[in-house]
Amino acid sequence: MIKEKIIEDLANSDFSIENLAEVPENFTGDYSLPCFFLAKRLGKNPAEIAKEFASTYKPQGIISKVENMGPYLNITLDRSKCANYGEECLNFDDFKGKVACIDFSSINLAKHPHIGHLCTTIIGASIARILEKVGYKVVRINYLGDYGTPFGKLITAVKKWGNRQEIEKIGVDALQDLYVRFNQEESEELIASARDEFRKVEEKDSEALEVYNWIIEISLREMHNIYDQLGIKFDDYNGERYYEGKKDEVIALLKEKGLVFESEGALLVNLSEFNLTDFMVQKSDGTSLYSTRDIAAAIDRKNKYNFDISLYVTDTAQNLHFKSLFKTLELMGYEWAKDLKHIGYGRLSTPDGKIASRRGKVAVLKDIFESAENKAFEIVKERDLDRQVATDIGVSAVSFGLLKTERVKDAVFDIESALNFEGETSTYLQYTNARLNSIFSKANESGIKEISVREYTLNEEEFACIKHLDLYKEMIFNAYNNFEPCYVARYAIKLATLFNKFYANCKVVSEDEVVSAYRIGLCRKVQAVLVDCMQILGVKIIEKM
């Protein structure tokens, strides 16, 4: 890395990579070092320290000049010694052998996943790819909402009013219509039937179980279409029903540890001394809650996968629940509770009227993706591109439009802005990648040999690309440490912008064989990192646009 080489060439153990920052525009130098942290130890003013160092330092290695600007040291690099940095930026193995579980998407079956599920699905998928990037073996978990009285209602509705062939053909829309009809015609008789049907499921009655499993199959089939579009696969689909079967073990263990107290027939864990509300694990009627099943799931996942970290990607509204869950597991004696992390995100909305929903007031994932694809097709048909390209552009716009914002912030997703070929969009990244492919085709036609160039003096546009490429590894670890995909999105946009500036000002295929060879090599590096970013962000790679 360039930063490591700068610190080495400064020959001063007081300086570290973490202190280095890029110099703002309109200031001289490439990197800047503050001297504030030395002031107390040396008993001097930071500006005085910077001035003394700059006046005595003799440039060496990749450093051509060091100047003091107030309390900062501004460092200018020798362009003739930076040409081959950025070559190792794609090599990661720091967490090789470690296992990460990540619970995301977690859809409620027999319902259309709505815009609220978009965040957990896309953010979770991107964080999973970041984890893989730094070396983890990742276990993707979709904790299905497949349990409870709503399924008894649906089984009753299917038996009473449903046409199996029609439901197979229409899918989840038909199931939702039946569920709405049940609620509209709700009566004591219907409610009693729903409870009875779900009791039969729990008791493994063959007829009720067959309808229940069929409903789940219909729901998953439609959701898999969306997962396939997004390029997401899961390793574990165990949901609420699976962990309901483990509730008695959890309650017994909590009682054995002396962690529960009874209140009006319910069982709770006392967490008041930790500034948390008491954690209910069993209702007064003896039924379990999310909390009970979440405890069972955490224990089961540790036993099954022996994870080093386990993440839960849900909205920030569930912060308190997960704090209580993790503290309860810690009190139960599980030292690995410290490895559990809640990854929260803000709310996502769409501009009023921008995405019409045929399925209610809240836009569902199916509507969002259909709208994105249709709007993308309106754009690409003018460029003589096919429907699949429109699908890839539309799906990518949805993913990137969400990921470019810090995950904890509320955001408004506007599909029309997200499909712009310029600016901070996935389409801009896809277009940049297609431009790179065009350069390689032209270079191949011109017979340019891609030879290794060891000595080369960079111009400003080339140096800007190299410096940014060299920061890729550092950025990825920042994204990992903060579980923040927006760092990758911002990095990718800047890389595309720097490359396009280089392309506008530098002739890649020229009469000079060395210049052409170096610039083609630089384009290869840019594309490798750009594609890497796009894959992490779920942006589809389009070869030609």
Q: In tens digits, what is the pLDDT along the chain, a chain of 545 residues?
A: 899 999 899 987 788 888 888 877 777 899 999 999 888 888 899 999 999 999 999 999 999 999 999 999 999 999 999 998 877 778 788 899 999 999 999 988 877 777 778 899 999 999 999 999 999 999 999 999 998 888 999 999 999 999 999 999 998 889 989 998 998 999 999 999 999 998 899 888 999 999 999 999 998 888 898 899 899 999 999 999 999 889 999 999 999 999 999 999 999 999 999 999 999 999 888 877 889 999 999 999 999 999 999 999 999 999 999 999 999 999 999 999 999 999 999 988 777 644 444 444 455 777 888 888 888 888 877 777 788 898 999 999 999 999 999 999 988 877 778 777 778 999 999 999 999 999 999 998 888 887 777 789 999 999 999 999 999 999 999 999 999 999 999 999 999 999 999 999 999 988 888 999 999 999 999 999 999 999 999 999 999 88
List the structure tokens of 524: 């290869």
> Quick check: helix, strand or coil at residue 85?
coil
Whole-number Å distance between alpha carbons of 472 and 536: 13
Q: What is the pLDDT of residue 352?
A: 60
Q: 3-class DSSP state for residue 404?
A: coil
The model's pTM: 0.92
| CA-based nearest residue to 109, from 185, 195, 34, 220 | 220
Amino acid letter, residue 515: V
Q: Are 112 and 172 in contact (CB under 8 A)?
A: yes
**Helices 172-184 & 206-230 angle (0-180, nearest 10):** 130
Strand 137-141 relative to strand 99-103, pairing = parallel
Torsion over CA: 444, 447, 448, 449 (sign): positive
In angstroms, rounded to a whole number, what is the distance separating the alpha carbons of residues 259 and 267? 10
Extract the tokens encoding 170: 């229409």
Read off the tokens for 464: 């800007």
369 contact partners, CB below 8 Å, separation of at least 6: 226, 229, 394, 395, 398
Contact (Cβ atoms closer than 8 angstroms) between residue 85 and residue 498: no
| DSSP code at position 244 | H
Burial class (CB within 10 angstroms; exposed 0-12, middle 13-18, buried 19+) of 353: exposed
Q: What is the per-residue pLDDT for 383?
A: 75
How long, in residues, is the chain?
A: 545
What are the φ/ψ torsions at residue 308 (nearest 5 degrees)?
A: -95, -30
Q: Which domains does the chain have, with CATH numbers?
A: 2-77 (3.30.1360.70), 149-230 (no CATH)
Residue type, 307: F
pLDDT (0 to 100) of residue 324: 98
What is the 8-class DSSP label of residue 114?
A: B
Sign of the torsion angle spanned by Cα atoms 248, 250, 254, 260 = negative
pLDDT of residue 12: 77
Query: How deeply is 227 buried, as exposed, middle or buried, from its count of CB atoms within 10 A (0-12, 13-18, 19+)?
Result: middle
- Residue 357: what pLDDT? 40
Task: Report the b/e string of 284-303 with b at 16+ CB within 10 A.
Answer: eeeebebbbbbbbbbbbbbe
Cβ(530)–Cβ(495) below 8 Å = yes
For the chain, report the end-to-end CA distance as a whole number of angstroms: 34
What is residue 96's DSSP assignment?
T
